[in-house]
């Protein structure tokens, strides 16, 4: 492997991109939305997962663009693709259980991986109306694993999200409102759930038994105590494995010279 870069050679966006890229396994079918996830997945395609099959959300299947598209609807997504279709086909493939990994974002998340992209406060009289669900609940429900990439602030890592846009490992059963395991609620449609959260502070994972989030690695410069204080719930820090691995120099070269030289999504360290 190429040598790891020193702290003065990369920025936070580089670190997040590389951490996200390393969640991809070779031969997987991966669902990508616009932004940093596109760079991360294409980086994986050019490094350790050359046989991954990339689905762009707008409907291009198994695309291999030579350069970074500006969105999932960019015509460049079609280069080398097995099929160029639309949203219906992309989400139908997910619904049929063929998506191994999906990348998503969110405004709020709780200890069970329930994610809110709908509103802050009461739904009928919100303090803030957010962008809405988009494909968030679909990808989160249909993919075998989901990775969330989020800004880490205490107001975002909450005890209970204002609105469950995308269900985590413990969800409410309606109409009584009792909390039950995701597997129980989904029944035969169950395929998996949130796998990791890559925030601007660290990498988090979920316990396979109780569904609780725990801290896996701290980003360079962050301490366990600082990260724990950035959560409104009692974060499990008993399984910290160390520091998040920095980008390698080869990964930085690919990001800034091959994938995103125009700094559309990832600015270069100045």
Active site residues: 57
Closest by CA to 202, choosing from 12, 25, 31, is 12
Pairing state between β 119-121 and 126-129: antiparallel
Q: Which residues lie closer than 8 Å to 48 by C-beta, 6 or more apart? A: 22, 24, 26
Per DSSP, the three-state class of 91 is helix
Closest by CA to 156, choosing from 225, 105, 195, is 105
Per DSSP, the three-state class of 9 is helix
Which two structure tokens, joined as six digits, stand for 260?
């995103």
Strands (DSSP E) along 226-270, which ranges? Answer: 242-243
Q: Position of tokens 């959260």?
A: 197
Nearest 5°: phi and psi at 137? Answer: -65, -30
Written in H, E and C, the secondary structure of 174-230 is CCCCEEEEHHHHHHHHCCCEEEEEEECCEEEEECCCCCCEEEEEECCCCCHHHHHHC
Whether the CB-CB separation of 26 and 49 falls below 8 Å is answered with: yes
- d(CA 163, CA 139) in angstroms, rounded, equals 17
């Amino acid at each position: 492997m190429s040598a790891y870069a020193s702290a003065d050679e990369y920025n936070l966006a580089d670190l997040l991109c590389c951490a996200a890229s390393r969640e991809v396994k070779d031969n997987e079918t991966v669902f990508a939305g616009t932004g940093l996830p596109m760079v991360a997945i294409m980086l994986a395609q050019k490094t350790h997962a050359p046989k991954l099959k990339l689905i762009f959300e707008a409907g291009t299947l198994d695309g291999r663009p030579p350069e970074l598209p500006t969105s999932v609807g960019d015509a460049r997504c079609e280069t080398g693709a097995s099929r160029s279709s639309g949203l219906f086909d992309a989400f139908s493939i997910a619904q049929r259980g063929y998506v191994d990994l999906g990348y998503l974002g969110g405004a709020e998340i709780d200890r069970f991986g329930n994610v809110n992209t709908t509103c802050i406060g009461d739904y009928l009289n919100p303090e803030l109306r957010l962008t809405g669900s988009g494909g968030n609940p679909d990808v989160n429900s249909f993919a075998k694993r989901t990775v969330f990439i989020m800004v880490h602030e205490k107001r975002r890592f909450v005890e209970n999200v204002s609105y469950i846009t995308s269900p985590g490992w413990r969800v409410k059963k309606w109409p009584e409102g009792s909390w039950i395991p995701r597997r129980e609620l989904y029944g035969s449609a169950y395929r998996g759930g949130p796998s990791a959260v890559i925030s601007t502070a660290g990498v988090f994972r979920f316990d396979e038994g109780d569904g609780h989030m725990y801290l896996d690695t701290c980003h360079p410069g962050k301490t366990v105590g600082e990260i724990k204080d950035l959560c409104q719930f009692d974060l499990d820090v008993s399984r910290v494995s160390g520091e998040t691995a920095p980008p390698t120099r080869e990964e930085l070269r690919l990001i800034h010279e091959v994938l995103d030289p125009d700094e559309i999504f990832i600015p270069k360290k100045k």
